[in-house]
């Protein structure tokens, strides 16, 4: 059930209507959200709802056991059990085949042909997201930052809440569970903001991401040798924007949908291509994943409060895990190494120059650093988008071929590409002003604006289904 489908919009309206009709009956409201979330997830593969139920039961029990444990050792054992169960599921379904294949490759180098087992299963949608979300619950209880909830359905809603279940943002229990306490609140401003976010997210997905994917990106990566060096570069610019609009568009729809239930989800993107360095990029891109790994991996490893060599390792390893989190393939191993090394190098030169976050660069220098960081991101996307390493080599080789014709770039692609980047580099305050203007507008004007957008999206929508990129993670 894709966000950019009529099915989802009808589903959302139905669930929201029933939810508010049961305003006075908290238990029924919770039951409706939980059941709706299960139906939403089972639309992809009904069998995998069992995995979510398993994670829910494990962490609900572990959370209460950690909180009531009489000794630090018992608390730690329950935490280890929670981490082992969650990462065990994630590792089995997402990484087992890759590690088996890598093991076979290593043995083959030495002339050994050892049969290794493989799992013939589909990757459960959203497993990387809800696993990290569930883990944050037990870890925060262990750290004394959260008390476990007694309400099993309430905890289940935290794990399965359908707007952000399959592609984030990654929500923490300390942010979400308190919002389920007391009656939900909704006003005209929140309805307007929710509508604005959904409209923005659908526009990003349908009018920009899907359009660029179908009309250029997919074609170039399917057959890179059929395009010139310059056309491959343009396709990489297109994919870089496609990826941002696809993922941030999903987050916008998720946050807007949650507002109709009186709930707030965290922001996940902050114009990442305006970044001047790798550290700033990862503070702006997939914010909830970056902050999760910072708090639950980087800091526990010692962060920067250790010897310099260990501090660089902690930083490198954390960013490497960010890359590997995205997928189980050599592409993402190299992607993680590339970004981790860039982050470590930036830290080294940043500190060697004696700079701080308060240091302000001249405008010309900031523009050049932004351009350099952007193109580093663009080139690294070759690894992200390619189906495998040979495909990445083909794309990279064609990029360096030196041919410069532009026969395959239609005017419509230029229009969408240029307008999308112009809007990305506009001041954030312009976006906020547009949102406030929409929210404050009378309902009839909002309806006219949304109707006009619906007509536009229907006109430009691709006939083929383009799944959200992050559904594969």
Are 442 and 449 in contact, with CB atoms under 8 Å apart?
Answer: no
Neighbouring CB atoms inside 10 A of 276's CB total 19
- Do the beta carbons of residue 137 and residue 57 sit within 8 Å? no
217 Rama class: left (phi>0) / alpha (psi -120 to 50) / beta: alpha
Q: Are 374 and 273 in contact (CB under 8 A)?
A: yes
Distance CA 51, CA 424 (A): 38
Strand, helix or coil at 464?
coil
d(CA 89, CA 218): 32
326 catalytic per annotation:
yes
Contact 263, 179 (CB under 8 A): yes
> Catalytic: which of 286, 326, 339, 346?
326
Coil, helix or strand at residue 105: helix
Q: Which run of H or of E encompasses 375?
A: helix 363-385
In the three-class reduction of DSSP (H, G, I as helix; E, B as strand; rest coil), residue 368 is classed as helix
**For 420, phi and psi rounded to 5 degrees?**
-65, -40
Q: Which residues contact 254 (CB under 8 A, 6 or more apart)?
A: 3, 163, 164, 167, 168, 169, 201, 265
- Tell me the CA distances in angstroms from 77 to 68, 92, 136, 228, 471, one per residue in order: 13, 22, 16, 58, 33
CA distances for 76 relative to 59, 141, 246, 427, 446, angstroms: 14, 11, 39, 47, 53
Task: Count Cβ neighbours within 10 Å for each residue of 352-373 and write b for 16 or more, e otherwise.
Answer: eeeeeeeeeeeeeeeeeebeeb
Q: How far is CA 239 from the centre of its chain?
A: 16
Local structure of 466: helix, strand or coil: coil
Question: What positions carry a catalytic annotation?
Answer: 326
């Amino acid at each position: 059930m894709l966000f950019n489908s009529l099915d989802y919009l009808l589903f959302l309206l139905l669930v929201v209507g029933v939810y508010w009709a049961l305003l006075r009956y908290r238990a029924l409201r919770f039951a409706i959200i939980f059941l709706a979330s299960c139906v939403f997830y089972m639309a992809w593969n009904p069998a995998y709802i069992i995995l979510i139920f398993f994670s829910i039961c494990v962490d609900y029990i572990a959370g209460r056991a950690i909180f009531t444990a009489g000794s630090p050792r018992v608390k730690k054992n329950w935490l280890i059990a929670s981490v082992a169960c969650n990462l065990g599921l994630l590792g089995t379904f997402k990484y087992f085949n890759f590690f088996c294949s890598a093991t076979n490759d290593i043995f083959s180098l030495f002339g050994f042909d050892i049969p290794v087992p493989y799992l013939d299963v589909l990757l459960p949608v959203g497993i990387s997201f809800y696993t990290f979300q569930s883990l944050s619950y037990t870890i925060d209880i262990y750290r004394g930052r959260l008390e476990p909830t007694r309400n099993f359905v309430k905890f289940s809603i935290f794990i399965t809440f359908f707007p952000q279940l399959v592609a984030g943002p990654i929500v923490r229990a300390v942010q979400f569970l308190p919002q389920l306490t007391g009656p939900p609140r909704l006003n005209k401003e929140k309805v307007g903001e929710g509508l604005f976010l959904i409209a923005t997210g659908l526009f990003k997905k349908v009018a920009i991401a899907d359009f660029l994917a179908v009309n250029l990106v997919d074609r170039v990566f399917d057959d890179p040798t059929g395009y010139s060096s310059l056309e491959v570069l343009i396709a990489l610019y297109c994919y870089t924007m496609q990826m941002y609009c696809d993922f941030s568009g999903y987050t916008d729809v998720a946050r807007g949908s949650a507002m109709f239930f009186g709930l707030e989800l965290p922001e996940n993107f902050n114009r990442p291509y305006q970044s001047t360095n790798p550290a700033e990029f990862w503070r702006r891109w997939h914010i909830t994943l970056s902050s999760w790994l910072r708090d639950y991996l980087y800091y526990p490893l010692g962060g920067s409060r250790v010897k310099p060599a260990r501090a660089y390792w902690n930083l490198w390893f954390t960013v490497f895990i960010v890359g590997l989190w995205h997928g189980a393939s050599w592409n993402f191993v190299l992607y993680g190494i590339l970004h981790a090394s860039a982050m470590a190098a930036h830290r080294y030169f940043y500190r060697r120059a004696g700079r701080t976050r308060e240091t302000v660069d001249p405008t010309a220098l900031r523009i050049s650093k932004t351009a350099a960081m952007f193109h580093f991101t663009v080139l690294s996307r070759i690894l992200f988008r390619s189906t495998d390493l040979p495909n990445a080599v083909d794309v990279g080789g064609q990029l360096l071929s030196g041919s410069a014709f532009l026969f395959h770039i239609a005017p419509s692609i230029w229009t969408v590409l240029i307008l999308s980047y112009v809007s990305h580099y506009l001041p954030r305050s312009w976006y906020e002003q547009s949102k406030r203007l929409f929210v404050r507008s009378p309902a009839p004007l909002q309806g006219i604006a949304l109707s006009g957008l619906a007509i536009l999206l229907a006109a430009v929508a691709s006939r083929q289904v383009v799944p959200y990129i992050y559904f594969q993670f």
